[in-house]
Structure 1
């Protein structure tokens, strides 16, 4: 091939130094043109050399003539046709546009100084791998998890095998598509690149400008300031600036966490409301005449007994049944007591519904107590320090921002001493964990480290939107090829697969997984404590009642012996005969009274919680029938027959009366052993 066929291979801006072959060819053509002009001049004039001085105003006498002959030169040189116009500029020349491929050089167009660009109509198919085919590129990068990392056994390896990470895998994918080779080299100063005071750049950007590297493959952010001095490929990852802070968990759930849905004040007012309703219910029930009624409608005209079901104990028990949504056997009769009951039930309906709705949230969700929730909260306080990586794009973002909030944050970071800027992401994370510090970094890095340290969290959303790109020297011929290759990786979903490979796999659960989890004993253990305490109180009260009954019963048995026999009877499913006799004697055995007092009380039977019941005696057949039933029941001594209307009213006290009344007549026919059985008979079968 001639020199002219090899000149148009390189197309570069005028500021770049010319290749050696092209500069030599231009120098040859320049000398050739001068020689041709001198030869033409020598034909008309005798050209001789004259000694001149630069300090003298004297000029060479043949200079003007030589310049005129140079303008008239026309010849064919190594760089093509040589011709100059009247101003001395080269004209009427053409440049062939060549393409370098694996098959060699081939012309794909022509550019003429007068006619302009002319491309061939039928261009051969251009393969994007042709330009980079079998080319070895120098890759500058920086160690940053998870983009570029050293393998655990990197000391035993050499070359590119020492590195791993997202960018390393992406380089392998790009090399397979574009058919090039590469050699990874770490940046000397260990920074991404920021402009200096004298206009020079540091880090990877500086190495691209000085052409010490062909590509910069790392988490290099595409910014307008960097775009002025280097070229970027299309972004292979989209991200933004985020805030990293340590997790502030609320207090650990206690055994009494089930009380959290209501504040202590609400619980106190609920207790006061219960006491107030119980007292008002007792008062209203005593005042209204419709709550006093005859419990024995079968004895109409014979019994003047009137009772009130709202005793003091029942008045305090009725609201409890309503509050627990269980009710009770006590039913209000009067309009006034029903009004009190309805208001209390409405109150408990709202309280229980609110408690149930809030209980799940308080027991299943551990709320995080974070002092800041957004970038505005961070900027409005000074207790929490915050900073960025020194010499990174995040620092440049705050430095050049015109947003008022970000300007205040930059002024705070710049004036804070000691410095809030860190040299690496690892240093920033360690500072977050060990001090009251918030670290500003890219969201992808934030997500990566949060997956591997559960004590870290992200505050708020993204402050901006940007992307990572592959850096190249300005005017690089590889830019279009890498753009197409990155688009192909995105379309094939290869970049997303690589991101999942290097980002997922952490020990912390995903933040979007908020499914409810099972409650543990640390959440509801207190209700078991309440249950056990209630059972112990019930057992204690039963013991007190047993001792109280035993103290008022005749006999000299000790409390411990009697209780032991009672427990043995309970365990062996049989009742103690002596215990039954003691109970019957305490309840039914009448005291010896004078004859006059017995006659005075002959016509009266009373209830402990009612009024005196008086009336005439029942007929003799009725007394005889009651005595027969008493004799039959006394044999088993297993239960007590009570009138259905009177089943809930116990505590009948029998007073000694004369013959002809039903209860004395019935009990007088019982033997001592039968009376000691503790049987109380009411006329349930006499008046069905």
Structure 2
């Protein structure tokens, strides 16, 4: 920032009144007083100085490897920025790497190194933890990251509600209410018309016939009812139209549900992670660790699962350790970038070597839709350091120009990696998809068998319908007029056909 005109005037006055022995003993008059701008002074503040810099392994954001003479060399986006700062301000730095990579607090970890003044800055994308502003100074926010839950991809489609999936519970309840109420409503309207309109076309179907019409329309069974009045016809036509639209939507949604690869995640928020049926792990010394430790946000509900051994903070630097736990059904909590890179590496491996022709089987893992934590990332400095004021001017240009965002996502694809919905694919129906169908059939058979047994027990307990019925009189044959007759209730009934009379009298 340029100096104000008042300050410049005072400095010029001081320079003009400056008297030195050199000026008294010489006749030369080439003395000049030059005022430097603030940006020129900033360039010289660190020139020729050496900074002690600490970094952590979190490639490709930041990392370091030992080169010749046991000297660390930094890599990643962080050191692209640091090299630009070095060229601008002319400083050098001694680099060390913290093992294991722990954010720390005022007494340990990376932040503890700043408090003890062992290093001048931590050159890493560190998440800003709660209360850390009290003992360290943070630079400008480099990036905002969200923390998600990574898990094994569940089975496609719903496991036991295939037939009920097209509609939600509210729709099913309204359909059931309409089935129960429409039949009596139709009967009441027809009864009211018969009472009000005394004409020859008045029809009144029974209540059971109306109820059966409603059910038959739903099952596409048709009906033998043929109403004559216009009002009754409108009622019947309205119900048929409603059923037509309803069944069309149901059929289309059921087809989509059974053909699309949809996965229903058992984890929606942090409360689901804390349930007794789930086990989870996260990075030891990471943002999740300190959020739980400091009771920051909603993550304090994970404390109970940690005490019960269902939550662990482990070293996640080895990918094999992470994938092994995920295969055992554990949930992995970490930042979006780490989890996305893990999924992408696993996808490439299985796509290229294990299942080159099966894209659906290459997506082993999936992320939750909602994040459980959000943190800004920044460089950390000593509490009284002047470095943030110098470095933030340059770092802001990296941020505003989109360079940091570009570098973070440079080696990741533009498309979403292994989304929850993999789209349409050919697959055979499993027994789990037809579970509801089996339940309907079994329920129908059990209900029918129960009614049949109930009828038998009813007959056995009541006995025959008419226990003292008289035996009918024996039928006797008689021969009269050349015809055979049976005597039934003292009346004659011819045994032969009437045409035999012609032959008899002929």
Q: TM-score range by the shorter chain?
A: 0.5 to 0.7
Q: 124, 135, 148: which one pairs with 2:37?
A: 124
Once residues 215 and 461 of structure 1 are traced to their aligned partners in structure 2, the CA distance between those partners, rounded to angstroms, is 33
Map residues 303-314 of structure 1 onto 2, 5 A cutoff: none
Q: 134, 137, 148: which one pairs with 1:231?
A: 137
Which residue of structure 2 lines up, in the alignment, with residue 421 of structure 1? Answer: 313
Q: Deviations over 1:265-320 (max 9, x none)?
A: x9xx9xxx9xxxxxxxxxxxxxxxxxxxxxxxxxxxxxxxxxxxxxxxxxxxxx99
Aligned partner of residue 439 in structure 1, secondary structure: strand
Aligned partner of residue 43 in structure 2, secondary structure: coil
Q: 97, 101, 118: which one pairs with 1:186?
A: 97
Which residue of structure 1 lines up, in the alignment, with residue 52 of structure 2? Answer: 138
Which residue of structure 2 lines up, in the alignment, with residue 354 of structure 1? Answer: 249
Q: Deviations over 1:484-541 (max 9, x none)?
A: 1221211222111111215x239963649x6x955536589xxxxxxxxxxxxxxxxx
Q: Deviations over 1:217-247 (max 9, x none)?
A: 1232223543333322112111244333332
Once residues 332 and 385 of structure 1 are traced to their aligned partners in structure 2, the CA distance between those partners, rounded to angstroms, is 61
2:278 is the alignment partner of 1:395: no
Which residue of structure 1 lines up, in the alignment, with residue 152 of structure 2? Answer: 246
Q: Using a 3 Å threshold, how does the CA distance of structure 1 residues 354 and 228 change in structure 2: closer, same or farther? A: same
Q: Using a 3 Å threshold, how does the CA distance of structure 1 residues 181 and 501 change in structure 2: closer, same or farther? A: farther
Which residue of structure 1 lines up, in the alignment, with residue 413 of structure 2? Answer: 505
Map residues 303-342 of structure 1 onto 2, 5 A cutoff: 342=237
Once residues 72 and 324 of structure 2 are traced to their aligned partners in structure 1, the CA distance between those partners, rounded to angstroms, is 32
Q: Considering Cα pairs closer than 8 Å and 6+ residues apart, tell me whether 1 or 2 has the greater RCO.
A: 2
Aligned partner of residue 219 in structure 1, secondary structure: strand
Q: Give, in angstroms, the shift of residue 382 of structure 1.
A: 0.9
Q: Give, in angstroms, the shift of residue 463 of structure 1.
A: 3.7
Q: Using a 3 Å threshold, how does the CA distance of structure 1 residues 376 and 460 change in structure 2: closer, same or farther? A: farther
Q: Deviations over 1:384-403 (max 9, x none)?
A: 12343223332222122166
Which residue of structure 2 lines up, in the alignment, with residue 164 of structure 1? Answer: 75
Equivalent pair of 2:63/2:75 in contact (CA under 8 Å): yes
Which residue of structure 1 lines up, in the alignment, with residue 395 of structure 2? Answer: 486
Equivalent pair of 1:131/1:478 in contact (CA under 8 Å): no
Once residues 365 and 121 of structure 1 are traced to their aligned partners in structure 2, the CA distance between those partners, rounded to angstroms, is 75
Once residues 342 and 88 of structure 2 are traced to their aligned partners in structure 1, the CA distance between those partners, rounded to angstroms, is 31
Gaps of 5+ in 2: 1-10, 16-32, 180-215, 347-362, 431-506
Report the TM-score when normalising by structure 2: 0.53
Which residue of structure 1 lines up, in the alignment, with residue 375 of structure 2? Answer: 466
Gaps of 5+ in 1: 1-97, 99-105, 108-119, 196-200, 274-318, 525-688
Q: 111, 122, 131: which one pairs with 1:205?
A: 111
Equivalent pair of 1:452/1:506 in contact (CA under 8 Å): no
Q: Give, in angstroms, the shift of residue 417 of structure 1.
A: 3.3
Equivalent pair of 2:146/2:371 in contact (CA under 8 Å): yes
Once residues 63 and 318 of structure 2 are traced to their aligned partners in structure 1, the CA distance between those partners, rounded to angstroms, is 13
Equivalent pair of 2:101/2:285 in contact (CA under 8 Å): no
Which residue of structure 1 lines up, in the alignment, with residue 125 of structure 2? Answer: 219
Aligned partner of residue 126 in structure 1, secondary structure: helix
Once residues 258 and 132 of structure 1 are traced to their aligned partners in structure 2, the CA distance between those partners, rounded to angstroms, is 71
Which residue of structure 1 lines up, in the alignment, with residue 484 of structure 2? Answer: none
2:269 is the alignment partner of 1:406: no
2:405 is the alignment partner of 1:496: yes
Which residue of structure 1 lines up, in the alignment, with residue 3 of structure 2? Answer: none
Aligned partner of residue 216 in structure 1, secondary structure: strand
Q: Give, in angstroms, the shift of residue 353 of structure 1.
A: 2.0
Q: State the structure with more CA Rg.
A: 1
Once residues 240 and 386 of structure 2 are traced to their aligned partners in structure 1, the CA distance between those partners, rounded to angstroms, is 83
> Which moves more between the two structures, 124-133 or 487-496?
124-133
Aligned partner of residue 126 in structure 2, secondary structure: coil
Once residues 346 and 208 of structure 1 are traced to their aligned partners in structure 2, the CA distance between those partners, rounded to angstroms, is 75
Once residues 124 and 173 of structure 1 are traced to their aligned partners in structure 2, the CA distance between those partners, rounded to angstroms, is 21
Equivalent pair of 2:165/2:257 in contact (CA under 8 Å): yes
Equivalent pair of 2:157/2:257 in contact (CA under 8 Å): no
Q: Give, in angstroms, the shift of residue 202 of structure 1.
A: 2.4
Q: 305, 314, 323: which one pairs with 1:430?
A: 323
Report the TM-score when normalising by structure 1: 0.41
Aligned partner of residue 461 in structure 1, secondary structure: coil
Once residues 418 and 367 of structure 1 are traced to their aligned partners in structure 2, the CA distance between those partners, rounded to angstroms, is 28
Once residues 421 and 468 of structure 1 are traced to their aligned partners in structure 2, the CA distance between those partners, rounded to angstroms, is 21
Q: Cα RMSD over matched residues?
A: 4.9
Once residues 426 and 144 of structure 1 are traced to their aligned partners in structure 2, the CA distance between those partners, rounded to angstroms, is 12
Q: Deviations over 1:650-683 (max 9, x none)?
A: xxxxxxxxxxxxxxxxxxxxxxxxxxxxxxxxxx
